[in-house]
Amino acid sequence: MKKLISSAIIFTVTIHCSIKTPEITLTGEKTALESQILGAYEQLSTQNLATTSARTSTNAVSAAEGQQESVLQAMQNQQFNKDEIDELKRSKVIGENRAGYLEILGSSKYESDPVYKNIVDKIVADENRDRRIIYQRLLAVDASSEKENTDALSTFAKIQGEKSEVGTMIQQPDGQWIEKAKSK
């Protein structure tokens, strides 16, 4: 009898267990600059901004705290507007330009409906403002040469395009707009 009960328990437990294979996504190698920017962005997003151990004036501390607050607010705004931005990208009303900002591409609804146009204009302006705040903070944290800053900004633009869904309109370095294709 004990064998029968033990067998029934083992059978029941094994039926309810399942093995799931992990989802593995292969991506290309990231450049050192991309890794550095992504690392800095993740550091900002987890609110682990570095603070100095040197004595500073209260004005410098207040300015740093103000910058930190504005970056965190910008990141919260981005999360708040993400769904609307993704929908506008899917409908090809907006796209990711080569400078790393959103750009309005227009549509018949955008041109004919002033209320819709105002909503789109505000969402794009807010997102671009938030990106500018984050970009400036990341560049300020790692004070680099003008060329390195230019490289970093083009990398920001590349990252924004990569983060976008398939079908998003992406502006190429030559100015041409193409639809983001599915990764191979």
Decide if 14 is inside a domain: no
Q: Where are the alpha helices (DSSP H) in the chain?
A: 2-16, 32-45, 58-90, 108-112, 114-141, 146-163
Decide if 10 is inside a domain: no
Mean pLDDT of the chain: 75
Average pLDDT of span 159-181: 88
The sign of the torsion formed by the CA atoms of 65, 67, 70, 72 equals negative
- pLDDT computed for residue 56 by the predictor: 46
Decide if 73 is inside a domain: yes
Average pLDDT of span 42-62: 46
What is the tally of structural domains in the chain?
1
2 compared with 79, residue with greater pLDDT? 79
- pLDDT computed for residue 101 by the predictor: 93
Beta-bridged to residue 170, according to DSSP, are 96, 178
Asked if pLDDT for residue 112 goes beyond 90, the answer is yes
Closest CA to 136 of 74, 46, 55, 80: 74
What's the pLDDT tens digit per position in 57-80? 444 444 555 667 888 898 898 899
Decide if 15 is inside a domain: no
Asked if pLDDT for residue 105 goes beyond 90, the answer is yes
- pLDDT computed for residue 55 by the predictor: 44
Q: What is the pTM of this model?
A: 0.62
Average pLDDT of span 167-171: 90
Decide if 119 is inside a domain: yes
Structural domain of residue 127, as residue ranges?
32-43+59-179
Give the CA-trace dihedral at 105, 149, 75, 99, to 10 degrees: 0
- pLDDT computed for residue 162 by the predictor: 84
Decide if 17 is inside a domain: no
Split at pLDDT 50, 70, 90, the class of 109 is: very high
Min mean pLDDT across 10-24, 36-50, 123-137, 152-166 is at 36-50
